[in-house]
Amino acid sequence: ETGVTQSPTHLIKTRGQQVTLRCSSQSGHNTVSWYQQALGQGPQFIFQYYREEENGRGNFPPRFSGLQFPNYSSELNVNALELDDSALYLCASSRGDPMNTEAFFGQGTRLTVV
């Protein structure tokens, strides 16, 4: 049990639609990162939020966006869904820099785009 909860667990969307994925972090964890894990691949960094501001972004288009809230929850929004967006989406929260503390991962949201 990592104390990081993601919802929903599974989701099916149609190409072109928009989706919002949610992550609830541990209290005091002011940093949240989102990763995309395609089938058979390792997680890839989407972006990180620190104290409600974006703090780094991976090689993902602007239709991937996020929000972080003062209550240690966060969202990942994806617009104009494409079939290749089908993946497991993981959030990871930490108390500060995940390199120098410990990042705790949620169980993920499995998104299927049809």
Partner 1 sequence: AQSVTQPDIHITVSEGASLELRCNYSYGATPYLFWYVQSPGQGLQLLLKYFSGDTLVQGIKGFEAEFKRSQSSFNLRKPSVHWSDAAEYFCAVGARTGNQFYFGTGTSLTVIP
Please give the residue ranges that form the binding site for partner 1 (CB under 8 A).
Answer: 2, 4, 31, 33, 35, 40-45, 48, 50, 55-56, 58, 90, 92, 97-100, 102-108
**What long-range pairs does 49-58 form, CB within 8 A, spacing at least 24?**
49/74, 55/31
Closer residue to partner 1, CB minimum distance, 86 or 109: 109
Minimum CB distance to partner 1, residue 90 (Å): 6
Region of 30 please: left (phi>0), alpha (psi -120 to 50) or beta: alpha
Rounded least distance, CB 106 to partner 1, Å: 5
